[in-house]
């Protein structure tokens, strides 16, 4: 018997109601099953409290939130009071950013031109906004984020950031690329937008605003470095430029150039009398590329050949037993584990434990014996046993 207490506000009463009920839970195949009458009562209770999607507009809690926060105005044109909370100001700011993606529709989207009364006395329903991005005309957080990202960053919703993190380049390069793609490196344009600078002009050439693309490519001082290295590119947006560089013949050279141009820009900003020349930058870039190629080749030679290890299922009408053990010499105890699976890989039986032994070989043999004993007691007669201890395998055979 299980006692359940539910306390909630009733829609027709200001106070709170509570009730207790005793019910019998009977076991089913997975867990316990609740009687159907309780499921129906719970569904009815929550439906009366919150309502369905169709009738949510008429619920008291909706009217309360609309009167308190929107002042009975629309979501997209509601006035934000000066004493509003930080959370509500942030939500209202999001409404303003998403406003252009909404469109207006005559009425509630369910009128018929032929059957409804389109009289001159007034509209049959108030015009309502709908989300013009999705075919369902309903807003979702996913579609809203995709629309904002595509609008602000030239984002392609079919792309992702995995190509950045899978590059075989130093992590500091990856992080700089990620910041570039998020328009988050402190160029003059970025600092001006944050109120941290008085001008967005490029401090190196004093010609035009310093965007990320101008800082790393279009500025004459940066373009001179690219030309000396024999790297050329057509005018494109930042995302496509970096993506093509990641697919170029020498990834190290491309992103090393970006890294050192950014470092040179910062150095010249704080050391006006000791600026780096283009030839010095080329020397630093080539030195980094040679170093990375050497380290990468050494890493490949030292890395052991990868083994394609995977679990091989047993034949039909048989099971596979996998055993393993670990011995702790300082304590004299060993931990072991055994698992039995069918040809589909589903878990059937298993056990774990510890035993006092004198060697790791004894621990592996004990794990095999314990696993075979478990398989026999469970009624399995066609058993394939696997272990990672070659000495134990020779002794058993």
Region 97-107: mean pLDDT is 72
User: What was the pLDDT predicted at 155?
Assistant: 56
- For the chain, the domains span 2-50, 69-151, 162-302, 319-396
User: What was the pLDDT predicted at 53?
Assistant: 42
Q: What percent of the chain has pLDDT over 70?
A: 71
340 and 348 Cβ atoms separated by less than 8 Å: yes
Query: Residue 318 — pLDDT band, cuts 50, 70, 90?
Result: very high
Which class is 319-396 in CATH?
Answer: alpha beta
A 10 A CB-CB count for 320 gives 22
Q: What separation, in Å, do the N-terminal and C-terminal C-alpha atoms of the chain show?
A: 55
A 10 A CB-CB count for 285 gives 22
Query: Residue 160 — pLDDT band, cuts 50, 70, 90?
Result: low
More confident residue, 381 or 133: 381
User: What was the pLDDT predicted at 383?
Assistant: 93
DSSP class of residue 187 equals: -
pLDDT digits (tens, 9 = 90+) for 177-236: 999 988 899 999 999 998 998 999 998 888 888 999 999 999 999 999 999 999 877 666
User: What was the pLDDT predicted at 90?
Assistant: 77
User: What was the pLDDT predicted at 1?
Assistant: 37
33 and 25 Cβ atoms separated by less than 8 Å: yes
A 10 A CB-CB count for 205 gives 15
Q: Which of 45-49, 275-279, 290-294, 374-378 has the lowest mean pLDDT?
A: 45-49
Query: Residue 74 — pLDDT band, cuts 50, 70, 90?
Result: low
Strand-pair category, 16-23 with 26-27: unpaired
pLDDT digits (tens, 9 = 90+) for 261-309: 999 999 999 998 889 999 999 999 999 999 998 888 777 666 555 555 6
pLDDT digits (tens, 9 = 90+) for 117-152: 655 545 555 666 777 777 677 778 878 877 777 776
Q: In what order do the strands lie in the sheet with 383-386?
A: 347-356, 333-341, 319-328, 383-386
Phi, psi dihedrals of residue 389, rounded to the nearest 5°: -105, 110
Position 17 pLDDT exceeds 50: no
Position 72 pLDDT exceeds 80: no
* Residue 20 to residue 6: CA distance in whole angstroms: 7
Give the angle subtended at the CA of 89 by the CAs of 88 and 94, to the nearest 5°. Answer: 95
Q: What is the DSSP string of 199-231?
A: --B-TTT-SSB--HHIIIIISHHHHHHHHHTT-
Q: What is the DSSP string of 109-174?
A: S---TTTS---TT--SS--EEEESSSTT----HHHHHHHHHHHHH---TT--SHHHHTSSS-HHHH
Q: What is the CA radius of gyration of the chain?
A: 34
Cα 18 from chain centroid? Answer: 41
User: What was the pLDDT predicted at 42?
Assistant: 46
Strand-pair category, 26-27 with 32-33: antiparallel
146 and 155 Cβ atoms separated by less than 8 Å: yes
* Residue 263 to residue 275: CA distance in whole angstroms: 11
A 10 A CB-CB count for 200 gives 16
Entry pTM:
0.45
User: What was the pLDDT predicted at 10?
Assistant: 40
Q: How many helices and strands in the chain, by DSSP H and E?
A: 14, 10
Region 163-184: mean pLDDT is 91
Position 380 pLDDT exceeds 90: yes
The residues facing 209 across adjacent strands are 201
351 and 321 Cβ atoms separated by less than 8 Å: no
Strand-pair category, 383-386 with 347-356: unpaired
């Amino acid at each position: 018997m299980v006692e359940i207490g539910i306390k909630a506000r009733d829609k027709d009463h200001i106070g709170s109601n509570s009730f207790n009920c005793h019910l019998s839970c009977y076991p089913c195949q997975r867990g316990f099953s609740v009687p159907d009458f309780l499921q129906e009562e719970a569904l009815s209770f929550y439906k009366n409290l919150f309502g369905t999607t169709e009738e949510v507009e008429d619920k008291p809690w909706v009217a309360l939130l609309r009167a308190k926060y929107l002042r009975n105005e629309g979501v997209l044109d509601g006035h934000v009071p000066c004493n509003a909370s930080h959370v509500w100001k942030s939500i209202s700011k999001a409404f303003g950013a998403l406003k252009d993606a909404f469109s207006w529709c005559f009425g509630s989207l369910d009128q018929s031109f032929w059957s409804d009364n389109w009289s001159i006395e007034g509209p049959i329903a108030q015009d309502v906004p709908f989300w013009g991005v999705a075919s369902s005309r309903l807003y979702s957080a996913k579609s809203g984020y995709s629309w904002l990202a595509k609008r602000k960053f030239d984002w392609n919703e079919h792309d992702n950031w995995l190509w950045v993190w899978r590059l075989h380049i130093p992590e500091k390069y990856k992080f700089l690329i990620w910041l570039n793609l998020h328009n988050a490196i402190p160029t003059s344009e970025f600092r001006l937008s944050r109120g941290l600078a008085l001008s967005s002009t490029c401090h190196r050439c004093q010609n035009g605003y310093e965007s990320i693309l101008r800082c790393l490519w279009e500025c004459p001082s940066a373009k001179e470095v690219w030309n000396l290295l024999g790297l050329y590119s057509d005018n494109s947006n930042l995302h496509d430029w970096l993506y093509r560089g990641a697919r170029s013949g020498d990834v190290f050279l491309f992103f090393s150039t970006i890294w050192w141009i950014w470092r040179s820009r910062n150095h010249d900003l704080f050391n006006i009398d000791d600026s780096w020349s283009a030839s010095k930058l080329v020397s630093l870039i080539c030195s980094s590329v040679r170093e990375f190629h050497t380290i990468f080749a050494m890493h490949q030679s030292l890395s052991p050949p990868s083994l394609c290890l995977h679990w091989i299922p047993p034949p039909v009408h048989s099971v596979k037993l996998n055993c393993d053990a670990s011995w702790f010499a300082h304590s004299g105890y060993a931990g072991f584990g055994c698992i039995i699976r069918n040809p589909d890989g589903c878990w059937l039986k298993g056990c774990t434990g510890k035993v006092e032994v004198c060697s790791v070989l004894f621990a592996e043999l004990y794990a095999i014996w314990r696993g075979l004993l478990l398989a026999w007691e469970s009624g399995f007669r066609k058993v394939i046993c696997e272990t990672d201890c070659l000495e134990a395998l020779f002794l058993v055979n």
